[in-house]
A and B are shown apart, each in its own frame.
Chain A
Amino acid sequence: MKFVDNVKADVTTDIVHMMCPMHLLKLEEKIRELEDGQILEIMTDYDGALEDIPGWCAKTGNEFLGMSETEEFYKFYIRRKVKK
């Protein structure tokens, strides 16, 4: 897993206390709302996200920038892919 610090996100979404598959549904919904190249931060305490979010990025072509951790939840950073 790639850990990052001080990533400046354009949009943050807080889904702490929500379970599978909200982490993927919210991710998809929010990424769709972003401009190309913008960064999304997702806050979640769902452990399945550790595998699912990088996996979703690999599958969809969006860039997984990395994650950081607080005592209560994870923060994932995803950059929306730039259409060529």
Chain B
Amino acid sequence: MRKCYFDHVATNPLDMRVFDAMMPYFKEDFGNPLSLYESGSKAKEAIENARAQVASLINSKPSEIIFTASGAEANNFALRGIALARQNEGKHMIVTRVEHHSILNSARFLEKVGFVVTFLPVDKHGIVDPDAVKKSITKETTLISVTHASSEVGTIEPIKEIGKIAKERGIIFHTDAVAAVGNIPVDVKDLGVDLLSMAAHQFYGPKGAAALYVREGMRIVPLIYGGIQESGRRAGTENVPAIVGMGKAAELAKNEMAERTGQAKKLRDKLIQGASEIENVFLTGHPENRLPAHASFTVEFIEGEAMLLLLAAKGVYAASGSACSSKALKASPVLLSMGVPSNLAQGSIVFTFGKDNTEEDIDYLLSEFPQVIKRLREMSPYAKGWGTKGESGECTVQK
């Protein structure tokens, strides 16, 4: 049976060139980067080399990169670190309703300890209105955090515009760019962001390595105290092989960006075109301004989970909503905040492509997907009234 991995937003397979770069740091160069003898100094050198490679991918200085263990850690670090560092200036922050749980739950934690958070809505395409950001700013606002691109609906947010607003008001601006870095060109100077989160396993690097970009001169309260690693801003013995892998993956992503995005776009558009021919399947997110490797849909009358299971039995691996929502069997909060009715939001399915997918993979998906939908609809109690327009309520997503 053909195997098609279309869940690159969950994680990417490790590039074998990355794996090869990592190997020496599991074996002969296993030393602690703080140790003064050879295997330690080699490990330290390798980390600094990786820092420069990661910095180059986002056009920052190496000293502005702080390695973390995950994108979620980078997001927690950004929100708590800035909230605490700036609490004497104000206790208000702005995030959006389409953020990853590592942003939303960090914001909720901060609310519990006395901060005030505005959760901004999005439009039907999942886009945050920069004017709404502007209107939400108060004298107390110290931080704005907006995702660069939604991993669930693929929409790319107007980061540059929001960055300008934040800069004019002297407010710190963070973007969760975990789904974006390595997949689209990201330039921190051009975007005007002060902090940016990224994760290696989203661009063929290993799990366990991620980073927070912190613009030079910014104060931030550490999330993890301990030793002097990462200039005292993130303690803990470094995951040297993973960091080296992140560096190599960043270098490859930079060099191969055009080729990768070109191929991904072709596959994405082919799937969107093919899926639009299936009755009552709606594209979610922005039709054009979306991640090149991302196609997401809601399928009326059936549940995302059921589709995933049946597709997996055919060797097709996809996602439904965000990974967390999917496990918790909840309707996607991102889709709900875009105004998608809850019965439709449950039929969410997300296909994300990678450099190893081919047009034949899409042909296979397009031959299996309609059959899966048909079979589930035949079993579905929600399908009552099938074919009657407006039966499931007004839908804000587009064909």
Q: Are B228 and A17 in contact (CB under 8 A)?
A: no
Q: Are B88 and A72 in contact (CB under 8 A)?
A: yes
Is A1 part of the contact surface with B, judged by Cβ < 8 Å? Answer: no
Q: Shortest beta-carbon distance, B215 to chain A, in Å? A: 13
Task: Pick from B85, B217, B222, B232 the residue with the most CB of A within 10 Å.
Answer: B232
Is A7 part of the contact surface with B, judged by Cβ < 8 Å? Answer: no
Number of A-B contacts (CB under 8 A): 27
Residues of B close to A15: CB separation below 8 A: 232
Name the CB-closest residue of B to A15.
Answer: B232
Stretch of A18-26, A31-39, A54-62, A75-83 at the chain-chain interface: A18-26
Q: Shortest beta-carbon distance, A30 to chain B, in Å? A: 12
Residues of B close to A18: CB separation below 8 A: 222, 231-233
Is B220 part of the contact surface with A, judged by Cβ < 8 Å? Answer: yes
Residues of B close to A71: CB separation below 8 A: 88
Residues of A close to B221: CB separation below 8 A: 17
Is B225 part of the contact surface with A, judged by Cβ < 8 Å? Answer: yes
A8 to B231 alpha-carbon distance, docked (Å): 26
Q: Is the interface of A mostly helix, strand, loop or mixed?
A: loop
A17 to B235 alpha-carbon distance, docked (Å): 13
Residues of A close to B231: CB separation below 8 A: 18, 22
Q: Are B88 and A17 in contact (CB under 8 A)?
A: no
A17 to B231 alpha-carbon distance, docked (Å): 12
Q: Is the interface of B mostly helix, strand, loop or mixed?
A: loop
A26 to B219 alpha-carbon distance, docked (Å): 15
Q: How many residues of A contact B (CB 8 A)?
A: 11
A84 to B233 alpha-carbon distance, docked (Å): 37
A32 to B81 alpha-carbon distance, docked (Å): 30
Is A16 part of the contact surface with B, judged by Cβ < 8 Å? Answer: yes
Is A14 part of the contact surface with B, judged by Cβ < 8 Å? Answer: yes
Q: Are A17 and B85 in contact (CB under 8 A)?
A: yes
Interface code B213-242, partner A: CB below 8 Å = 1, 0 otherwise?
Answer: 000010111100100100111000000000
Q: Are B219 and A14 in contact (CB under 8 A)?
A: yes
Residues of B close to A22: CB separation below 8 A: 228, 231-232
Residues of B close to A16: CB separation below 8 A: 85, 219
Q: Shortest beta-carbon distance, A11 to chain B, in Å? A: 14
Binding site for A on B (CB under 8 A): 81, 84-85, 88, 217, 219-222, 225, 228, 231-233
Q: List 8 A-B contacts (CB under 8 A).
A: A16-B85, A16-B219, A17-B84, A17-B219, A17-B220, A19-B222, A21-B228, A22-B231
Give the top 9 A-B pairs by smallest Cβ distance, nearest first.
A22-B232, A18-B232, A17-B221, A16-B219, A17-B219, A19-B225, A17-B85, A25-B228, A22-B228
With contacts A17-B219, A25-B228 known, what are 5 further pairs, Cβ within 8 A? A14-B217, A16-B219, A17-B85, A18-B231, A19-B232
Binding site for B on A (CB under 8 A): 14-19, 21-22, 25, 71-72
